[in-house]
Structure formats: C-alpha cells, structure tokens
Structure 1
Amino acid sequence: MPHTPYPLHLPTPRGPTPGKGLELRRRRRRPSSRWRQVLAGLLLIGAGSLILAGLMQLPERLDALLLVSNAIANLIGGLSRLSMGILQLGSVIVVALLALMALLLLVGGGVRLVRGLTARPRRSSRGGGTTA
C-alpha cells in the first residue's frame, strides 16, 4: 500500500446521541512564521508601489484619451465584424437547409409517384364478396 504524506481522517461521531450525524475532522493549518509574514507583506507593498509608479508615468508617454477612444473603436469594429460573420453563417445554414428540404421533397414525391403508378389494385376485404 503506498504511503501518503497526509494521514487519512475518518468521520467520527459527534456525541453519544445516535442519529446526531457525523462531523469531519479538519486538519489545522500550521501558522506561518513571523519573518515569513513580514517578508510577504514587504513584497506585496513593493509590488503595489512599483505598479502604481508605472501607472503614474503612463500619461506622460501616452495620451490616455486617445488610447481609450482607439480601444472603444476597435471593440465596436470587432463586434460589428463578429455580428456580420454570424449573420452570414446563419444565411448559409438557412440556404443549405432549404436545399436539403427541396431534395427530400423531390425524393419523397418521386417515391410516391412510382408507388402510385406501379401499385396493383388491392382486394377489398370489406364487403367485397358476392351477394346471393
């Protein structure tokens, strides 16, 4: 049997009362060391400061309003192209379905015509006997 790094915790009864239900034991997380928390805090503060400093220099290099207007124009253009593509695909599907329906109607009509022309008259079992 392979050894797992974490022991298996089975449900244990909560109390002596039967029918109370079972509760799973939860493995407690070991608290991290104080130095690790300090280091993580300093790293998060440093990353946030660097991102904000980069964002503060962005307006000097780019015209933010022009950037936003170009992004909106590209978005609208992309959405209009997407909608035109969907409409064209839908029209192709409709034409293909109409052609398939026409072929099915032609085949069905031909089969009925052949059956009608080659059918032998059936003997009627109802009242078709001789009368005396």
Structure 2
Amino acid sequence: MLYRLNTFIDQAADLGVLPHLMTIAARVEQHPTSHLLPGIDLRFEGGVRGEADVYGIRQGKVVAGESKTSPRDFDATQIEHDIDTSARIGVDIHLMASVHPIPEDTRNAAQAACEQNGIELLVLDQEHLRPTQ
C-alpha cells in the first residue's frame, strides 16, 4: 500500500496551514467558546496591506497573531511587524505561536513590544500545540 497526500493537502502543508489549525485547536480546546479564523487578509488606510495567521475572539477579547513552524522565523523584524499589525487592528491580545519551543529571548522581545503598544501577549508553542500526554 502506498500513501500519498492529495494535492490540496500537500499545498496546504507547504503553505504552513497546519500550524494555524493547530493553534486554533489548542485555543478552542482550552476555551471552547473561542471563535477563531485561520489566515485573514487586511487592508489599512493608505492602501497598506497586512495579514494575520489567526484572528478572532477568546474569552470576550479580540486576539490576532502569527503561527510559525519554526520559532527562528520570529526575528526582531518579524516581531515588530506582527505586533504593529495587531496594534493597527486594535486587538486586546497578540498571539505568537510555533509548533516548536519559542526561546525566552524571543518571548521577551515580543513582550516588550506588546507592552509598548498596550497589548497582552499570549505565547503558545510545542507544549501547547503538540503536548506529550
């Protein structure tokens, strides 16, 4: 027997959809009344465009952010961009998620940027998205 992903699933995996869905599943499991969307496109005044990997409502608060396969993708530029996007759309909580452990220095950089923007930070990583129970 040979197993092969169909082209739709293969393309979704290549585009990084699985971390988005894992993030949403983890949030909904912990907070069943959460309503989250994977991947939204944004347009701001002046023609500026953006996107968020996850957007929705969690415990009555607006949440948006990014979900990555590799925590290395959260470099200083990416963190600044992601939190700026969250601030532009007026979220209460910025979400930073990765299927692998997010280093403490990365968490600290995101926390500092969130504090500057008056946004709460929610970090989800391997412990939350791929628990070893």
Q: TM-score range by the shorter chain?
A: under 0.3
Larger relative contact order (C-alpha < 8 A, sep ≥ 6)?
2
Give the greater-gyration-radius structure (CA): 1
**TM-score under structure 2 normalisation?**
0.17
- Structure number with higher strand proportion: 2
- Structure number with higher helix proportion: 1
**TM-score under structure 1 normalisation?**
0.17
